[in-house]
Structure 1
Amino acid sequence: MKPEPGVLQTCLFFRGKSVEELDVLLETMRYSVRDFRKSEMIISEGETADRLGIVLSGVVEVHKIHPGGGGITIARLEKGQTFGEAVLFRRENLYPATIISAGRSTVMFIGKQELLRLFAADTDMLARYMENLSERLVMVNRKLETLSAGSLRRRVVHDLLRQADFQGADTIKLPFSRKEWAEHLNAARPSLSREMGLLRDNGWISFKGNTVTLLDRKKLEELYEDK
């Protein structure tokens, strides 16, 4: 199955390339495309990372499974996003997490040797690859920043303030479900709901579904700064 060039344009790896250029590239590139069912495992933790994955449709989730059962969702990857790039060229190139299809999804795979050939032929693609790695590092740093914020209340407030800054408004749309947010915060969903209820009952926020309004930003900032 040949990927749609328009879909590949949403991937940072191919940014700047025209539909015509991608059509020509796909004629010479070695790759594979696979469809996955809901909850189907795409990559298992500990598997050798020998290819780059690009999400063409649907959503895939990166899970860290605990030895005793259960786990957390580290990331949700949508159309145009990639996985495997951070470990592909490591000496111990093993996947540190499990990747699962959240629903029906389609993924394009490009092997390590093929990537090296593409980099040698097109230094712009190599630059995009490095940019992609940098973006992923920023995401990891943000995750660590959230988890190191302290109590669950401070982690919740930190995320709300960061989203407000990112979206440029005090009424924000959370980019994840309550369950996904709880996993992101490394907290139980009831605990997260309890904290959100407390912030609402004190008149500091209001919310409906995934839409949250920061009613007293100054107080929220004080809560975050209060060690």
Structure 2
Amino acid sequence: MKQILSNDIINQYLPTLIKCPLFNKLGEPELRSYLHNAKVIVHSYKKNDFIALSGDPMEGIGVILEGSALLTRENVMGQRVIMANLEQSDIFGEALLFSKQPLWPATIKATKVSKIMFIPLETFIDTLPDCQQCQTKILSNLLEDLSEKAILLTRKVHYLTLKGMREKIFAYLTDIYKRQQSTTIHLPHNREQMAEVLNVSRTALSRELGRLRDEGIIDITGRTVTLKDIEGIEEFGFNSF
């Protein structure tokens, strides 16, 4: 059910919403004005609940107020591929907002107890009282976010075009290295999730990571990886082709 958020809810989640890319460069007074006028939908989910199933109609752009989720798809062989990790303040579903058939193309599953705010289409196209300027900024932020995610999707396609396991791992590590700007990086995925991102088997992935460690190319402990041969690893990065 669409609702205007109460002051208590706005105060509770304002720090989270300020960090949301959809509300980038909005001052607190502008954001409060928008939230006091925009009718949104808020749902709560338990861990492992489905937030959306592929083929379901979408209610609007999702904003994660609490918790985290995985956006996944299954290929024709029934293998699950992770498309995105979604954390607090992240948004999803923006590519569908103006679609003629706004159906979820992927499945979204809560990995923690979560609360999601859905912002329906009319909130973006209807003029809200005293919010015209902030609505313009929000639409600009939406376009910027779409551009960034299009680049991210291209990177994922890049992983799939690489034939060798080692090349896929190097491309994956290079992307994280460039984001974190450190040769000691923290992986955003566990081993099973990393295998799904690269569309490889977990056993083969673990075996190749062990080889890379034994050859002195990386050190790996849990999700912490030290890149010891960064020049060789970067050779297969997305921007190297």
**TM-score of the superposition, structure 1-length normalised?**
0.90
- Residue 163 of structure 1 corresponds to which residue in structure 2? 176
Is it true that 1:205 corresponds to 2:218 in the alignment?
yes
* 2:43 aligned counterpart, secondary structure: strand
The superposition leaves residues 21-52 of structure 1 with CA deviations (integer Å, 9 ceiling, x where unpaired) of: 22222221101211100111111111123411
Q: Aligned match of 2:200 in 180, 183, 187?
A: 187
Question: Kindly, what percent of the aligned residue pairs are identical?
Answer: 32
Moved more, 28-37 or 166-175: 166-175
Is it true that 1:139 corresponds to 2:152 in the alignment?
yes
Alpha-carbon distance, 1:111 to partner = 1.1
* Structure 1: stretches of 5+ with no match in the other structure: none
Is it true that 1:43 corresponds to 2:56 in the alignment?
no
The question of whether the paired residues in 2 share the 8 Å contact of 1:118 and 1:125 is answered with: no
Q: Number of matched residues?
A: 224
Change (3 A) 1:165 1:83: closer
Q: Aligned match of 1:15 in 24, 33, 56?
A: 24
The question of whether the paired residues in 2 share the 8 Å contact of 1:6 and 1:19 is answered with: no
Change (3 A) 1:48 1:172: same
Change (3 A) 1:74 1:223: closer
Matches of residues 60-209 of structure 1 in structure 2 within 5 Å?
A: 60-66=69-75, 69-117=78-126, 121=132, 122-209=135-222
* CA distance, structure 1, for counterparts of residue 50 and residue 72 of structure 2: 10
The question of whether the paired residues in 2 share the 8 Å contact of 1:57 and 1:105 is answered with: yes
Alpha-carbon distance, 1:218 to partner = 3.9
**TM-score of the superposition, structure 2-length normalised?**
0.85
* 1:99 aligned counterpart, secondary structure: strand
* CA distance, structure 2, for counterparts of residue 148 and residue 68 of structure 1: 18
* 1:31 aligned counterpart, secondary structure: strand
